[in-house]
Structures are given as C-alpha cells and as structure tokens.
C-alpha cells in the first residue's frame, strides 16, 4: 500500500515520508485515530515506504520485490497482530492471528484497510457476545518471530492493530519488548483508544495522531463513490464526521437500517423524557442494554449528533444543519427542549455513558442511569 492509495491526510503522509528520509525512525510508534481516518493504511504505507528500494517523490515505487510483497501483506519481515477468537473454541485451545491471515488480507484488500473493530468481528463470525482479544500467547509468538534474522528487508516490522484489546498479561509482555527492542525492529501500534493502553506502553512509543478527514475530502470521496447529487454528497460528508468507513456505509445505503434504528431509540428516549414517563424509561434502558456493544456505541454517537443539531435549530441556524426525512421532522419539533442551559450537560452525559460502555461497563446500569439523567435535563426547559 502506497501513500498515494490513502484518502486525504496529505500533510501527515508528507511528514512520515520526510522522517524516514531523514533517518528519524522511532522503533515504536503509536498511530492513534478512528479506523475510518486511515490509521491502518497509513501504518502499512509507512512500512512499505521504509523498505522500498526505489523511493521517489515521497512515496514507495510499488514495483520492487519488497513493495509487491508488502502490498499483498505477504512479506516475510512484516507481521500482523490483531484481535481474534472463534465460536466453539475448546478449553485450552490457542487462537492466533496467523490462523486468520487469509481473512485479514481479504478484509484489507476489499476495504483498503478502512474497517472497524466490529466489522472485523463480524468477519470472524463471533456473534453478539463473543469478542476478539490479543492474548499472551500472541505476544509470545511476536517474540519468537522477532528473534530470527530478517529475511529480505532492512527492518523487521510488526503492526499491532487495536492493541487496546490486549489482556493484561499480553500488554506486559509487549511492554518488555518495547523496553528492550532488537536492532532494526519496528513496532507500529494502531489504536482507536490509545487512552486504554498501559501508560508505560504509551510512554515508550512515539505517537502519530491521525486526524479526522476533512469534509471536502469526504465530499470528493462520496462523488468518486458514485454519489452524483452534490447536495447529497455534502450531506453524507458532514454526517460521516471525518470517517471514511461511515461515508462508505452512507453511500452504499448500508448505514440506513442502523441509523434508522438508532433514531427510533433516540426519539423514544426524548419523548419519554419530556413526558416524564419513568417506567417507559426503564424499559427503554433494558432494550438498549440488549444491543450489541458496537450498536450501543453507535447509538450514543447518533444521539449526540441529533442533540447538537436540535440545539443548532433552536439557535436559529437551520442552514448549518444536515438533516433530512424523519430526523429533520422530529428535531424541528424537539428543538425547543434543547437550549444553552442543558445542551452541554446532556452531551457530557452522553459521552460519559459511551466511555463506560467502551470500557465494558454494565450496560443495564449505564443505560438506566443515562436515561434517568437525560430525563431530568430535558425537563429543565419545560
């Protein structure tokens, strides 16, 4: 994967290439940002540029043996570690990333490296409750692989995708590698939630913050994906909020069902809140708690977006709102309940609840508290 294959991030790509050209190569780097901003593609492109034999114009050539093998994710000196698991695993059975490399390669090839953790779990067919992890055995396997001499490339490279899914034992073993690295060894951690990593791991890595994509970049991407209506392309670009993965779902229509379901739950919560229907609020919390973790997180994201847009409508800046259909109809009616006095605490409550779910908080407790807290805040404007 070359830098030119990555959507946007022009300044960051230039800085990464310049650092390699100048020989400023940290042995451990932490790429942080949402998956849809290009964290994984950037990490792969970085390794390819580092090992390319004929760099030119700030990019890899794409033609030398190292480039071709890395583009196929089949270079003997490039290793991938990612969360895995499987249904029906036997007691004591070891499940490693290498067991799923063909599936991993197809996921990267089909999406360009833009896919979420939940989408990866769906490819693994883990169901609603089973989740992938990076185990201590995986860390042992990394140590084993890196103990060998490099085959072809100057650097032995390991890309650890979603290191926040490591268990404690694995994290401590990875920390030992970072503290005593082998020569010409490169560790790239690709994380959405770097704050969940051990502070000792973070302190031993050089962070590469990957920003959200600009609306202009996403609008161009929407047009390239076949969204011919300029207004629709602008709307999708705004709704995607810097996330190319979200834009893809919007463009393909695959986000419509989830978005519609989240809107229905948001609408119910707000109606129960301003009508002071506490029993229904408790039932709502039960329903939300039964969703998958990824759906719960997306519900908070959509709720925050709809709350902000309702506030903007309340402030009289309708031109700054990108709503359509039933969302627009409801938010215009709901806008009088969201003003300067309650928008900030409601958004803060939403973000806190999302963080608690992301950290595996008890969904029933989190959603019950969230529903009752929001109900009190909505009542302030009546």
CA dihedral in degrees (218, 207, 159, 20; nearest 10)?
90
According to DSSP, the residues that pair with 166 across neighbouring strands are 134
Q: CB–CB of 241/69 below 8 Å? A: no
Q: What local confidence, expressed as pLDDT, does residue 99 receive?
A: 92
Taking 90 as the threshold, does the pLDDT of residue 175 lie above it? no
pLDDT at 382: 43
Query: Which of these, 332, 334, 358, lies nearest to 268 by C-alpha position?
Result: 334
Q: Shortest CA distance to 142 belongs to which of 106, 102, 189? A: 189
Q: How far apart are CA 328 and CA 238, in angstroms?
A: 15
Highest mean pLDDT among 38-42, 199-203, 294-298: 38-42
Q: From CA 174, how far away is CA 20, in angstroms rounded?
A: 24
Q: Please determine, for residue 379, whether its predicted confidence score (pLDDT) is greater than 70.
A: no
pLDDT digits (tens, 9 = 90+) for 4-26: 999 999 999 999 999 999 989 98
Residue 2 has pLDDT above 70, yes or no: yes
Distance in angstroms (rounded) separating the CA atoms of residues 174 and 185: 13
Find the mean pLDDT for residues 240-245.
88
**Distance in angstroms (rounded) separating the CA atoms of residues 24 and 15:** 11
In angstroms and rounded to an integer, the radius of gyration of the C-alpha atoms of the chain is 23
Name the range with the highest mean pLDDT among 39-53, 90-104, 170-184, 236-250. Answer: 39-53
104-130 pLDDT per residue, tens: 999 999 999 999 888 898 899 887 677
Tell me, what's the pLDDT at 381? 47
Q: What is the 3-state secondary structure (H, E, C) of the chain?
A: CCHHHCCCCHHHHHHHHHHHHCCCCCCEEEEECCHHHCHHHHHHHHHHHHHCCCCECCECCCCCHHHHHHHCCCCCCEEEECCECCCCCCCCCCCCHHHHHHHHHHHHHHHCCCCCHHHHHHHHCCCCCCCCEECHHHHHHHHHHHCCCCCCCCCEEEEEECHHHECHHHHHHHHHHHHCCCCCEEEEEEECCHHHCCHHHHCCCEEEECCCCCHHHHHHHHHHCCCCCHHHHHHHHHHHCCCHHHHHHHHHCCCHHHHHHHHHHHHHHHHHHHCCCHHHHHHHHHHHHCCCHHHHHHHHHHHHHHHHHHHHHHCCCHHHCCCCHHHHHHHHHHHHHCCCCCHHHHHHHHHHHHHHHHCCCCHHHHHHHHHHHHHHHHHCCC
Question: What is the C-alpha to C-alpha distance for residues 93 and 54, in angstroms, rounded to an integer?
Answer: 44
Q: Residues of the chain with pLDDT > 70: what percent?
A: 96
pLDDT greater than 90 at residue 251: no
Cα(20)–Cα(307) distance, integer angstroms: 44
Sign for the pseudo-dihedral over CA of 21, 23, 24, 26? positive
Query: What are the angstrom distances between the C-alpha of 225 and each of 42, 220, 267, 339, 377?
Result: 21, 9, 31, 37, 41
């Amino acid at each position: 994967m070359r830098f030119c294959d990555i959507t946007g991030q022009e300044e960051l790509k230039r800085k990464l290439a310049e650092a390699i050209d100048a020989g400023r190569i940290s042995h451990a780097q932490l790429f942080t940002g949402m998956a849809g901003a290009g964290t994984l593609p950037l990490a792969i492109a970085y390794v390819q540029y580092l090992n390319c034999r004929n760099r030119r114009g700030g990019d890899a050539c794409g033609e030398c043996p190292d480039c071709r093998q890395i583009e196929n994710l089949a270079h003997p000196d490039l290793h991938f570690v990612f969360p895995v698991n499987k249904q029906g695993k036997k007691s004591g059975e070891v499940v490693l990333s290498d067991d799923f490399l063909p599936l991993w390669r197809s996921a990267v090839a089909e999406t360009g490296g833009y896919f979420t953790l939940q989408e990866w779990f769906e490819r693994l067919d883990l169901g609603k409750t089973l989740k992938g992890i990076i185990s201590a055995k995986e860390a042992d396997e990394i140590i084993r692989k890196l103990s060998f001499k490099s085959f072809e490339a100057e650097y032995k490279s390991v890309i650890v995708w979603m290191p926040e899914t490591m268990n404690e034992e694995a994290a401590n073993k990875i920390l030992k590698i970072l503290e005593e690295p082998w020569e010409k060894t490169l560790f790239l951690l690709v994380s959405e939630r770097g704050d969940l990593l051990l502070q000792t791991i973070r302190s031993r890595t050089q962070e590469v913050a990957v920003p959200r994509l600009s609306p202009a970049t996403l609008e161009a991407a929407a047009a390239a994906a076949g969204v011919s209506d300029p207004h629709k392309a602008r709307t999708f670009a705004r709704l995607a909020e810097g996330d190319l993965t979200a834009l893809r779902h919007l463009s393909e229509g695959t986000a419509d069902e989830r978005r519609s379901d989240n809107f229905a739950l948001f609408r119910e919560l707000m109606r129960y809140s301003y009508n002071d229907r506490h029993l229904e609020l408790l039932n709502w919390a039960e329903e939300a708690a039964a969703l998958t973790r990824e759906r719960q997180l997306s519900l908070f994201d959509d709720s925050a977006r709809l709350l902000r847009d309702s506030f903007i409508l309340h402030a009289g800046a309708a031109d700054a709102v990108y709503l359509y259909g039933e969302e627009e109809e409801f938010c215009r009616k709901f806008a009088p309940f969201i003003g300067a006095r309650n928008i900030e605490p409601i958004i803060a409550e939403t973000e806190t609840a999302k963080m608690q779910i992301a950290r595996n908080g008890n969904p029933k407790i989190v959603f019950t508290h969230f529903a009752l807290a929001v109900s009190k805040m909505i009542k302030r404007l009546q």
